[in-house]
Structure 1
């Protein structure tokens, strides 16, 4: 069962006069990763190293630290905690004492690990993209339903009615498919959009 974290957490520690500050946050996609890293850009730091994992995708960055001493240990901590859809950023302010490669691996990995220990782990609920169309007079019913269940959606209006793409949790799909058939009197069917084609 995949797990993620419920919200942003942070942790700070000093190691041999260098200050380390870690942030861990849940992320859904690469855009959220980019937005977070932009928002937390700090020019006062010596290094801003990070790693993230979303499903099968992962990336890490040493930001000028010796290769393999920062981003990879942070990623190892994420994977060691069996987490996904998580970004961990570790800032370092250099304090004048070199830590050596082993020391850096321990410092970045350790700081990321301490930060993740503060986070509440939650089960990652898989979502599925679905698509449907409806007439204008039916859209109000579906819009109400989607909003009631806090379902993300995008609608597109055209001459015949509305095309909708929504992100449903897997357990919500059968009931919604039934509702669609019911309201449209069997005219419309819920289509599953398959994005997992590369798995």
Structure 2
């Protein structure tokens, strides 16, 4: 069962005079990853190493540290905690003592792991996209239902009524489809979007 983080977390520690700071946050797209990295860009650091995972997509970066000593251990920490839709950035300010490859792996992976241990994990519930059309008269009732169930939606007004694109959790599909048919007296159907 995949999990993500509820918000952004930070953890800091000093290892052999080098200061390490981990920042872990939820992300849901590559655009969110880019925005996170831009927000946390810090030119005072010696290295800014990171890893992220969104579904089956993943990336990591050693930012000048020896290959495989920073980004990969951070990613291993994310995967080891069954997280997805998560990014962890570990900043390092070099303190003058070399840690060696094993020391770097322990420092980056350990700092990322401590940060994630502080985090509140939440179950990531997959949502499926659907669409339906309804008349102007039914829309206020259906709009109220969507808001009560906290369902994300986008409405588009057209000449014959409203086209609604929405994201439903698997356990919401059957009951909402039934409610839609009820309110529209069978005229509206919940459909998967056309490719």
Q: 1:89: Cα distance to partner?
A: 1.0
Q: Does 1:102 align with 2:122?
A: no
* 1:56 and 2:56 correspond: yes
Residue 5 of structure 2 aligns with which residue?
5
Q: Which residue does the alignment assign to 1:88?
A: 88
Structure 1 equivalent of residue 150 of structure 2: 150
Aligned equivalent of 1:127:
127
Q: Secondary structure at the match of 2:42?
A: coil
Listed one character per residue, the Cα deviations across residues 28-85 of structure 1 (whole Å, up to 9, x for unaligned) are 2222222222222222222211111111111111122222111111000011112112
Q: Which residue number in structure 2 is paired with residue 182 of structure 1? A: 182
List alignment gaps of at least 5 residues for structure 1: none
Whether the 8 Å contact between 1:49 and 1:70 is mirrored in structure 2 is yes
Q: Over residues 133-183 of structure 1, what are the superposed CA-to-partner deviations in whole Å (9 max), with x where a residue is unaligned?
A: 112222222222222222222222222222111111211111111111112
Partner of 1:40: 40
C-alpha RMSD of matched pairs (Å): 1.7
Give the stretch that moved more between structures: 118-127 or 172-181: 118-127
So what's the TM-score if we normalise by structure 1? 0.90
User: Runs of 5+ in structure 2 lacking a partner?
Assistant: none
Deviations 1:4-42 (A, max 9, x none): 222221110011111111111122222222222222222
SS at match of 2:138: helix
Bigger mean CA offset, 139-148 vs 172-181:
139-148
Cα distance in 1 for residues equivalent to 2:57 and 2:190: 28
Q: 1:151·1:168 contact (CA, 8 Å) conserved in 2?
A: yes
Partner in structure 2 of residue 65 of structure 1: 65
Q: Distance in 2 between matches of 1:24 and 1:143?
A: 35
Which residue does the alignment assign to 2:160? 160
Runs of 4+ in 1 over 6 A off after TM superposition: none
Shift of 1:127: 1.3
Alignment check: 8 A CA contact 1:129 1:165 kept: yes
Q: 1:101 to 1:194 in 2, by over 3 A?
A: farther
3-state secondary structure, aligned to 2:171: helix
The equivalent of 1:136 in structure 2 is: 136
* 2:75 corresponds to: 75
For these two proteins, the number of residue pairs brought into alignment is: 195
